[in-house]
Structure 1
Amino acid sequence: MNLETFNNELTALLADRYSISESARNNHARGEDIFDPVLPLGVAFPNTTEEVSQIVIICNNHSVPIVPFGMGTSLEGHVLGNEKGITVSLEKMNSIIEVNAEDFDCRVEAYVTRKQLDEHLRDQGVFFPIDPGAEATLAGMAATSASGTMAVRYGTMKTMVLGLTVVLPNGDIIKTGGRTKKTSAGYNLTGLFVGSEGTLGII
């Protein structure tokens, strides 16, 4: 890999939203785990799913591994940096796109947190019941199939997530599931990605 060429391609795509500064790399070198931090080569801050896809394609072309990063609340080392790879921080993708309170569903971007969603839902008479005990992002909670203290009554992320938008390791963007509570239209790909811990794609 030619590191200069690689960095130039990501800079051309993201401008100042790709950083190789030591402070940015330090901030994304680990989660809340006990492991020593590992600084990545750089940190990318995409705004859209399409930009995530382009980042993955560039990394594929240069054989550079990727670590997706949300709030960094993992206790198990999920977001530990890779000294030969980059970290993709989803912090700029934090919009609540749509809420259908009467149907008990909503659409959100990857970095929306459970507290942020609950604040948004408060005046509509509904709430989000999964509470893993950390201020985690919903995409991170889906990736780890988070549960929490109310799982016995309300279930886990496995039962809550109806559909996903996922960037696959080759850069393809797929959509799984939908708003219907039950479907027999093909494989349950949503269930495959929920709990996959970032190994199958970026949620």
Structure 2
Amino acid sequence: MSAVHAIMERKTLSEQFLGELAAIFGDRLKLGEAVRSQHGQSETHYDTVLPDAVVYAHSTEEVVALVKACSAHEIPVVPFGAGTSLEGNTLAVRGGVTVDFSEMNQILSVNAEDLDCTVQAGVRREELNAWIRDQGLFFPIDPGANATIGGMASTRASGTNAVRYGTMREAILSLRVVTPDGRDIRTARRARKSAAGYDLTRLMIGSEGTLGIITEITLRLHGIPEVISSAVCSFETVGGAVNTVVQAIQLGIPLARVEILDDMQIRA
């Protein structure tokens, strides 16, 4: 990986460009090595790669201004959520500006009757569930880490409860996205069904920032189950475990979460 980093061309940030960023973000523009180092790593096994600058966004409008400035100066932009990525997709391998969404963490609306909500990209999964619990609702996608909703949308996250609730692909109703040329678009409305145009929502989910930067997400919510039971079963073969799960689903048993562990995983 280090050899790859060495050949990646990094463009020096000009004083003019830094001045434009300072005009947008003020003291939320960070150039210190400590902050850049925090944003140059994640849970991945890849080497640390520092961005040239870090900004903390508060609104979609600020992200629009950032992307337009970066586009004009041909500077890369890297979105950063909670830094829980395992794939290295938050690493600024060509330098540029990392935009941190940790302060863009507002729950904008909750529509309990319609079982949906709209949040900013920096809202974390556990924070959202704590907020909506009193209304008898929960957001079921659980990748294990307390990731941001924006990061989960960008990576099409899933978890052990995908067997019942699906992945982020099924959980997202619409997105607000800033395109690479700085346009602010909404991929859909709150309606469950629409035949108007392309399905841009599904196109953006899992695109990891390559098609645009996700700033707001409208999510499908679910009622909290009244009763939850758990069990641990052992099988002599993986095939036996898989067949049991298949039969349970075919019989209509409402499985909410399934995870398989073998000897190798336990040793790890």
Query: Do both proteins adopt the same fold according to a TM-score greater than 0.5, normalized to the shorter chain?
Result: yes
Runs of 4 or more above 2 Å deviation = 81-84
| Aligned sequence identity (%) | 53
1:103 match: secondary structure: coil
The 1-side partners of 2:85 and 2:43 are apart by 6
Match of 1:91 among 82, 90, 102: 102
Residues 1:126 and 2:126 aligned together: no
TM-score by length of 2: 0.74
Alignment root-mean-square deviation, CA: 1.1
3-state SS of paired residue (1:68): strand
CA deviation string 1:145-197 (max 9, x = no partner)? 11101101011110110010000000000001121111111111001001111
Residues 29-85 of structure 1 deviation map (CA, whole Å, 9 limit, x = unaligned): 021101111111100111110100100111111110111000010000010123531
Residue of structure 1 equivalent to 2:153: 142
Q: Structure 1: 5+ residue runs without aligned partners?
A: none
Distance in 2, matches of 1:66 and 1:82, equals: 11
Amino acid at match of 1:33: T
CA distance in 1, matches of 2:119, 2:182: 21
Output the CA distance in 2 between the equivalents of 1:70 and 1:158.
Answer: 19
Alpha-carbon distance, 1:22 to partner:
0.9
User: How many angstroms apart in 2 are the aligned matches of 1:21 and 1:152?
Assistant: 44
Match of 1:172 among 183, 199, 202: 183
Per the alignment, residue 36 of structure 1 pairs with 47
Give the Cα separation in 2 of the matches to 1:84 and 1:159: 34
Question: What is the alpha-carbon distance in structure 2 between the residues aligned to residue 82 and residue 58 of structure 1?
Answer: 20
Deviation at 1:13, TM superposition (A): 1.4
- How many residues matched? 203
What's the TM-score once normalised by structure 1's chain length?
A: 0.97
Mapped partners of 2:81, 2:202: distance in 1:
20
Larger Rg: 2
1:11 aligns with 2:26: no
Structure 2 residue 84 is the aligned partner of structure 1 residue 79: no
Residues 91-131 of structure 1: per-residue CA shift (max 9 Å, x gap): 11100011011211001001011101100111111111000
SS at match of 2:137: coil
Unpaired stretches in structure 2, ≥5 consecutive residues: 1-11, 215-268
Q: State the partner residue of 2:202.
A: 191
Secondary structure class of the residue paired with 1:40? coil
Q: Which residue of 1 aligns with 2:76?
A: 65
Rounded to whole Å, the distance in 1 between the matches of 2:95 and 2:109 is 38
